[in-house]
Structure 1
Amino acid sequence: MSMSSHELDAPPWLRVESTIMATARAIRQSYDQRFNDLDLNLSEASVLAYVAEHGALSQTHIAKSLGLGRAATGALIDVLEDRALVQRETDPDDRRVWLVEITIAGKELVEEVYVRDQILRKQLRNGITRQERQQLAAVLVRLGNNLASVLAEEIETT
């Protein structure tokens, strides 16, 4: 394939979308590796860090904020609760709702998660300028908006 070939003519494994997906998988694997000895994966660490940062939240709020399904979020919270890293408490305003809050053990563990996250992000961004990161973020936001439109159209036609 020559440099002048149009991106759409490229084989599937060379298209931008494939590169984005492969990069996302590699990022997830890198985080999972970094958190492995903490007995956490990226999803569990994300829930733990989110609750540490925002305080007691409903499972539904956590799911929406992190872009996860409610059932998947519930399973992640179960794992964290079994390890005494978070606990569920009844919402005083609505007894039907459970609030998830971080425990002391969770706070201690999330500090190590933050340290490892900072180190890995520095490594991932090596050789990439702030301006390049901002440009990439802007392109990814536009791509995300396009995807949202495509998904909305598909829902309307089904």
Structure 2
Amino acid sequence: METLPFEIAETAHALRRAFDRRAATLGVTRAQWKVLFRVDRQPGLRQVELADILDVEPITLCRIVDRLEEAGLVERQRDPADRRAWRLEVTGQAAPLIAKLRALADDLMAEAFAGLSEPELELMRTKLTKIRNNLTANPQGRMTA
């Protein structure tokens, strides 16, 4: 049990690094593809919400979004409810890049999970979800009786 958290973290790290190498061939950094994927999945996110989801400082996210906006991949839209806030959308120009990134991700997942059956993958999903739920249900890390 002692090494299991380390193994989970190392596996996640290996997946990120493998995807980073592949995404770099398209000229995209990890920070950029994370923003593109999330905004594509959740259009209209406020920048502050996205920074929280990605666990980065708002100023860091602002710089990433600046670069993506300059490249024509993301656009900021004023939040009608709060003039100080920006909502993010991917542009039509981003669609081909996102499709290529998704194809890279699909290929990587097929490679990474080769030899695992669908029931094994579903069991893994279930167990990982249970771990995440345990942690979010007890965010202060207090021991329960």
Category of TM-score, reference length = shorter chain: 0.7 to 0.9
**Out of 56, 78, 92, which is 1:90 matched to?**
78
Structure 2 residue 50 is the aligned partner of structure 1 residue 62? yes
1: CA distance, partners of 2:124 / 2:12? 14
1:16-64 CA distance string (max 9 Å, x none): 1111111111001011011002121333212212222332321133234
- Determine the structure 1 residue equivalent to 2:93: 105
Question: Which deviates more from structure 2 when the two are superposed, residues 129-138 or residues 23-32?
Answer: 129-138
More divergent stretch after superposition (119-128 vs 78-87) = 78-87
| Equivalent position of 1:37 in the other structure | 25
In structure 2, the residue matched to 1:49 is 37
Q: 2:15 aligns with which of 27, 39, 43?
A: 27
1:145 offset after TM fit, Å?
3.2
Q: What are the residue-to-residue correspondences of 1:8-23 with 2, within 5 Å?
A: 8=2, 15-23=3-11
Alpha-carbon distance change, 143 to 52 in structure 1, aligned in 2, over 3 angstroms: closer
What letter is aligned with 1:27? L
Provide the rounded CA distance (Å) in 2 between the counterparts of 1:74 and 1:62.
Answer: 10
* TM-score scaled by length of structure 2: 0.81
Larger radius of gyration: 1
Backbone CA RMSD of aligned residues: 2.2
**Which residue of 118, 121, 127 maps to 1:130?**
118
Q: Is the contact made by 1:31 and 1:41 (CA closer than 8 Å) also made in structure 2?
A: no
Structure 2: stretches of 5+ with no match in the other structure: none
- Superposition TM-score, scaled by structure 1 size: 0.75
Aligned length: 141
In the alignment, which of 83, 92, 115 is matched to residue 103 of structure 2?
A: 115
Q: Which amino acid aligns with 2:123?
A: Q
4+ runs deviating over 6 angstroms: none
AA aligned opposite 1:128:
L
